[in-house]
């Protein structure tokens, strides 16, 4: 892939390959744009342990200081820790330096506003306008920002998670947990949290070097080593993290990666049991959350795909829980961010209070299979594809909030939508069994291909 | 927020001496990142040491420099706040491939700059600087792969190691025995932490002002007489044996006598040369064309040659190296001690002058009185940059000075007589032509300055 093609500048931030497209010049420009956009104030910066993180931190720091913003560096930490720190320190914004589940050669900037939530689509557009306009605020020598360090951010985050969970129940169960942190940002802290909750912990890939021993996306095909370790250590559960601690996947005691959709289903089951109110997730997430809603009498509200869309809907609906089917769990009692530490606490509490094993809990849900696929589609063709899908499924029940979501008799569904970050249409289908989900997905993909062919 | 200016005097100088500008106007983070990545491309990959002086914008400039160097594949070692001379010692004595000093020297706090040195701790010479500028302008920088990026290291010991290198060059016992009382003005700059420590270690009683690196510059950080009034008052009030003033990054040294007089920074080189030549360090004295001829008298006293260079720190440093000089320096108060480093080094200068005081005894005003007194007049004529060199060319063709025994054209025009000289040159840093004269009588120096200032104005 060439440098030009690898760069993605969008409303959700900037992403590129270090040594090619993600240059210090680009980072400095975005830092100045963000400082100009905030018009001064305090900015919290956290990063995952990718080797390029420090170079990017320095470029951001220089750019922000020149606009009069001060910087608090919270060091290598999970992205949700940075988001917590923005609120704790009453900062005016935050930046996460992480390319999340992308390979180690990538890095990215994600911009966060004063409430510790990422910029929404409109705010992202505003920041891009400032960047493209290029007329940045430049402060004189005596009005530049200052740099501070906050070593306590992770501990505050851990403490909040510990306070939110039924530690006695977990300690009484004393589960044996294997955690695979992919040598990412959550590596040392997740282990500490689990121990403080009374777990016996086996940690693998737990040195935050940023050199990933596997693809950091926590989906079953990347979790072979974790599954093996769970079996080898005769553990009760395995947790697989991404590089920046905002997506989590669960492995059963039998050493089976049950799929990242279960992470939110389990966590929501516990959040809904704790409090009355609404649950929020996106249109592409498993129907298991609807079952959770039925169990606890909670309304489930669906938002467009994207963390910030889920979060803003949660805020608007005053939701008691939320998240995404990719393994991102949001516990609003803690903060409006996807947070693996919170997710692990919720899931362990759920197991302890129910006295169930992972497999048993998973089987309490109606059998389900999800197929996630994609069709290459240039930006110019997406509208044609969406219209073709609408015509094709005209007789079914449709949700047109984002792309096309089709609900079939018997609970199966398919959702097709243009990606925010890549020139593709994503197609996700769910049904009682894999063959049916695959067939439903293929049908929608054929319609898309036929329309853009 | 400052607005962009199309004014020709927009304060940015990209010259052989590095890149210098005003923060908030021209010295932007983009420029800093680009220059640092250009330097990393030019000199790397390898270890590059970075120091800064105490000006507040250093905190913004440093991370920009780190990111540009790191992105190019260099391993940055951050020396923190220390004198530029300490950086240059550290570069020379390590396997580093180069150094970057973040300092605008004697310029006021609005300014900052990057000064680049090569693996021997000497600044880039004009050819090397031109090569760096070509890399900068071409903008095709080295970009290290993600797994080749190196973490930024930290070394807080460079300042102390520099002091150690200075201590072994002076007669510690003699200085201790003299029990001198020394007043210093560190202008809250990079020497604030180090000079008091050095002097106390040498058994001096230290009276320091402006020695807090967290505070802003109390006056323009240039150790010339107009900026020394605080120090002069301090010397008198404290009854000190001498007073010394640093600039912001430990390049230049100004001297105040025990009676509170500031004889001028031209004397710094003469006093230091007295010490170094007097103790028998071999080699000639190197100085530039605009420095006082009192240097010639001191050298003559010890049977040494004087080598004159063009104006610019790197010319002094390279000549000091090439001629194996005993000492080198400029009338601005910047002195090079080749035994320590090839850098302008005000801490070394201070230590050597204190050593001279200890060795010779008597007051410092007496030492100065032994140096022949000349009168230097410095004038400047504003000149559009595009006219500067043609004016000098015209002047060259029109030389009419029967008193001149020698004409030197190395850097502009210098006419040298037995009792006077005049030097007319183009400033590297400002759109000006400088006219400097010196004579053994004030009237003569003034007349000469008037004559050549008028001549330049006429040619314009």
Q: Which tens digit of pLDDT belongs to each residue from B175-221?
A: 999 999 999 999 999 999 999 999 999 999 999 999 999 999 999 99
Nearest by Cα to B366 from B204, B229, B257, B234: B257
Question: Which residue of A4, A58, A209, A243 is the best one to mutate when testing the B interface, meaning the one whose CB has the most B CBs within 10 A?
Answer: A58
Check residue B150 and give its pLDDT. Answer: 96
Q: Which domains does chain B have, with CATH numbers?
A: 12-160 (3.40.120.10), 177-369 (3.40.120.10), 375-459 (3.30.310.50)
Banded pLDDT at A3 (limits 50, 70, 90): very low
Question: Among B23, B37, B149, whose Cβ lies nearest the Cβ of A141?
Answer: B23
Nearest by Cα to A371 from A288, A442, A425, A287: A442
Beta carbons of B196 and B206 less than 8 angstroms apart: yes
| Contacts by residues B6-13 (CB-CB < 8 Å, ≥ 24 positions apart) | B8/B431, B9/B431, B11/B111, B13/B429
Residue A419 clears pLDDT 70, i.e. is over it = yes
Q: What is the crossing angle of helices B84-92 and B158-167, to 10°?
A: 80
Check residue B2 and give its pLDDT. Answer: 37
Question: Can you give the residue ranges of every domain in chain A?
Answer: 3-153, 174-363, 369-452
Measured in angstroms, the CA of B222 and the nearest CA of chain A are apart by 18
Beta carbons of B291 and B436 less than 8 angstroms apart: no
The pair of structure tokens assigned to A329 is 């769990």
Beta carbons of A25 and A31 less than 8 angstroms apart: no
Q: Is B1 on the interface with A (CB under 8 A)?
A: yes
Check residue B10 and give its pLDDT. Answer: 61
Residue B156 clears pLDDT 70, i.e. is over it = yes
Average pLDDT estimate for A312-318 = 97
Banded pLDDT at A4 (limits 50, 70, 90): very low
Rounded CA-CA distance B256/B233 in Å is 10
Candidate from A199-203, B253-257, B424-428 with smallest mean pLDDT: B424-428
Question: Among A17, A29, A55, whose Cβ lies nearest the Cβ of B71?
Answer: A55
Question: Among B23, B28, B149, whose Cβ lies nearest the Cβ of A55?
Answer: B149
- Second CATH level (architecture) for the domain A3-153: 3-Layer(aba) Sandwich (3.40)
Residue B89 clears pLDDT 60, i.e. is over it = yes
Average pLDDT estimate for A8-17 = 85
Check residue A19 and give its pLDDT. Answer: 93
Instruction: With CB atoms and an 8 Å threshold, state whether B30 touches A25.
Output: yes
Question: Which residue of A16, A21, A28 is the best one to mutate when testing the B interface, meaning the one whose CB has the most B CBs within 10 A?
Answer: A28
Beta carbons of B406 and B361 less than 8 angstroms apart: no
Catalytic residue flag (residue A129): no
Check residue A47 and give its pLDDT. Answer: 97
Q: What is the DSSP string of B423-438?
A: EEEE-SSSSEEEEEEE
* B179 vs B2, residue with greater confidence: B179
Residue B6 clears pLDDT 60, i.e. is over it = no
Check residue A1 and give its pLDDT. Answer: 39
Beta strand residue intervals within A290-342, DSSP E: 300-303, 321-324, 328-330
Q: Cis ω on the peptide bond leading into residue A375 (within 30° of 0)?
A: no
Note whether A174-363 and A369-452 share their fold: no
Average pLDDT estimate for B275-287 = 97
**Structural element, H or E, at residue A225:** helix A224-232
Instruction: With CB atoms and an 8 Å threshold, state whether A105 touches B146.
Output: yes
Q: What is the crossing angle of helices B29-43 and A24-38, to 10°?
A: 170
Residue A435 clears pLDDT 60, i.e. is over it = yes
Check residue A402 and give its pLDDT. Answer: 93
Catalytic residue among A12, A21, A66, A100: A100
Q: Is B64 on the interface with A (CB under 8 A)?
A: yes
Average pLDDT estimate for B41-51 = 96
Q: Is B149 on the interface with A (CB under 8 A)?
A: yes
The pair of structure tokens assigned to B407 is 């004409």
Nearest by Cα to A42 from A26, A61, A25, A58: A61
Instruction: With CB atoms and an 8 Å threshold, state whether A59 touches B67.
Output: yes
Identify all chain A residues contacting B37, using CB atoms and an 8 Å cutoff: 24-25
Instruction: With CB atoms and an 8 Å threshold, state whether B56 touches A144.
Output: yes
Rounded CA-CA distance B136/B153 in Å is 25
Instruction: With CB atoms and an 8 Å threshold, state whether B57 touches A144.
Output: yes
Average pLDDT value over all residues in chain B: 93
Beta carbons of A48 and A97 less than 8 angstroms apart: yes
Domain A174-363 is found in CATH 3.40.50.1970: no
Average pLDDT value over all residues in chain A: 95
Banded pLDDT at B9 (limits 50, 70, 90): low
Average pLDDT estimate for B292-314 = 95
Rounded CA-CA distance B69/B149 in Å is 10
* CATH homologous superfamily, domain A369-452: Alpha-D-phosphohexomutase, C-terminal domain (3.30.310.50)
Q: Is B144 on the interface with A (CB under 8 A)?
A: yes
A-B contacts at Cβ under 8 angstroms: 127
Q: A409 to each of A324, A413, A431, B50, how far by Cα in Å?
A: 24, 9, 10, 68
* pLDDT tens sequence across A73-101: 999 999 999 999 999 999 999 999 999 98
Check residue A452 and give its pLDDT. Answer: 87
Candidate from A3-17, A132-146, A429-443, B39-53 with smallest mean pLDDT: A3-17
Check residue A5 and give its pLDDT. Answer: 65
* B395 vs B206, residue with greater confidence: B206
């Amino acid at each position: 892939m060439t440098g030009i093609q690898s760069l993605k500048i969008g409303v959700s931030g900037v992403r590129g390959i270090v040594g090619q497209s993600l240059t210090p010049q680009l980072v400095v420009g975005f830092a100045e744009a963000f400082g100009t956009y905030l018009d001064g104030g305090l900015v919290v910066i956290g990063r995952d342990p990718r080797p390029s993180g420090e170079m990017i931190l320095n470029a951001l720091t220089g750019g922000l200081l020149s606009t009069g913003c001060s910087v608090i560096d919270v060091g290598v930490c999970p992205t949700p820790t940075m988001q917590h720190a923005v609120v704790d320190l009453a900062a005016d914004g935050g930046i996460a330096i992480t390319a999340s589940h992308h390979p180690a050669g990538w890095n990215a900037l994600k911009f966060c506003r004063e409430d510790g939530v990422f910029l929404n689509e409109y705010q992202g557009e505003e920041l891009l306008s400032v960047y493209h306009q290029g007329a940045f605020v430049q402060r004189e020598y005596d009005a530049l920002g200052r740099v501070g360090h906050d070593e306590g951010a992770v501990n505050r985050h851990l403490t909040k998670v510990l306070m939110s969970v039924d530690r006695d129940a977990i300690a009484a169960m004393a589960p044996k947990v294997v955690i695979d942190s992919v040598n990412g940002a959550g590596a040392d802290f997740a282990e500490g949290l689990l121990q403080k909750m009374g777990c016996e912990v086996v940690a693998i890939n737990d040195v935050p070097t940023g050199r990933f021993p596997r693809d950091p996306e926590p989906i079953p095909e990347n979790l072979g080593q974790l599954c093996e370790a769970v079996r080898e250590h005769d553990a009760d559960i395995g947790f697989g993290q991404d590089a920046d601690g905002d997506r989590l996947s669960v492995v059963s005691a039998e050493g089976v990666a049950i799929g990242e959709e279960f992470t939110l289903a389990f966590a929501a089951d516990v959040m809904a049991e704790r409090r009355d109110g609404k649950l929020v997730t996106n249109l592409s997430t498993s129907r298991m959350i609807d079952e959770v809603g039925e169990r606890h009498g909670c309304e489930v509200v669906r938002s467009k795909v994207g963390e910030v869309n889920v979060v803003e809907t949660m805020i608007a609906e005053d939701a008691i829980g939320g998240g995404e089917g990719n393994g991102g769990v949001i516990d609003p009692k803690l903060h409006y961010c996807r947070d693996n530490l919170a997710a692990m606490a919720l899931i362990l509490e759920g197991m302890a209070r129910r006295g169930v094993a992972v497999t048993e809990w998973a089987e309490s849900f109606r059998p389900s299979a999800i197929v996630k696929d994609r069709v290459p589609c240039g930006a110019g063709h997406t509208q044609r594809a969406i219209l073709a899908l609408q015509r094709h499924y005209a007789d079914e029940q449709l949700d047109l909030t984002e792309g096309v979501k089709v609900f079939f008799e018997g609970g199966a569904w398919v959702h097709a939508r243009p990606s925010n970050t890549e020139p593709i249409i994503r197609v996700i289908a769910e049904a009682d069994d894999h063959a049916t989900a695959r067939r439903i997905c293929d049908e929608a993909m054929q319609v898309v291909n036929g329309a853009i062919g | 927020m400052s607005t962009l200016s199309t004014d020709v005097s927009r304060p940015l100088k990209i010259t052989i001496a590095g890149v210098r500008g005003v923060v908030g106007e021209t010295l932007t983070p983009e420029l800093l990142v680009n220059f640092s990545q250009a330097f990393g491309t030019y000199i790397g990959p390898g270890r590059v040491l970075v120091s800064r002086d105490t000006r507040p914008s250093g905190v913004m400039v440093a991370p920009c420099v780190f990111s540009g160097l790191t992105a190019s594949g260099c391993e940055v070692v951050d020396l923190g706040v220390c004198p530029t001379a300490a950086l240059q010692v550290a570069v020379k004595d390590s396997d580093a491939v180069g150094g970057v000093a973040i300092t605008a020297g004697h310029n006021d706090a609005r300014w900052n700059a990057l000064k680049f040195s090569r693996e021997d701790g000497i600044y880039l010479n004009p050819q090397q600087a031109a090569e760096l500028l070509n890399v900068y302008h071409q903008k095709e920088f080295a970009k290290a792969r993600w797994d080749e990026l190196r973490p930024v290291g930290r070394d807080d010991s460079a300042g102390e190691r520099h002091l150690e290198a200075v201590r072994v060059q002076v007669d510690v016992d003699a200085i201790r025995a003299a029990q001198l009382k020394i007043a210093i003005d560190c202008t809250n700059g990079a020497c604030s932490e180090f000079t008091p420590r050095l002097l106390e270690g040498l058994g001096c009683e230290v009276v320091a002002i402006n020695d807090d690196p967290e505070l802003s510059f109390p006056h323009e950080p240039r150790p010339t007489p107009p900026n020394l009034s605080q120090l002069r008052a301090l010397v008198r009030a404290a009854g000190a044996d001498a007073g010394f003033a640093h600039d912001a990054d430990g390049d230049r040294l100004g001297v105040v006598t025990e009676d509170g007089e500031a004889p001028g920074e031209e004397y710094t080189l003469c006093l230091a040369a007295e010490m170094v030549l007097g103790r028998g360090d071999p080699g000639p004295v190197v100085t530039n064309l605009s420095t006082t001829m009192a240097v010639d008298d001191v050298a003559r006293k010890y049977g040494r040659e004087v080598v004159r260079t063009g104006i610019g720190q790197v010319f002094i440093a390279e000549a000091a190296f090439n001629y194996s000089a005993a000492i080198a320096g400029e009338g601005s108060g910047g002195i090079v001690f080749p035994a320590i480093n090839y850098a302008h080094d005000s801490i070394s200068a201070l230590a050597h002058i204190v050593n001279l005081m200890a060795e010779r005894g008597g007051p410092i005003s007496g030492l100065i009185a032994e140096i022949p007194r000349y009168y230097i007049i410095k004038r400047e004529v504003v000149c559009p940059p595009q006219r500067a060199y043609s004016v000098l060319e015209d002047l060259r063709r029109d030389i009419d000075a029967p008193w001149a025994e020698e004409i030197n054209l190395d850097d502009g025009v210098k006419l040298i007589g037995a009792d006077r000289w005049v030097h007319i040159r183009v400033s590297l840093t400002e759109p000006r032509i400088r006219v400097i004269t010196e004579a053994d009588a004030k009237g003569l120096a003034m007349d000469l300055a008037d004559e050549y200032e008028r001549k330049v104005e006429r040619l314009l």
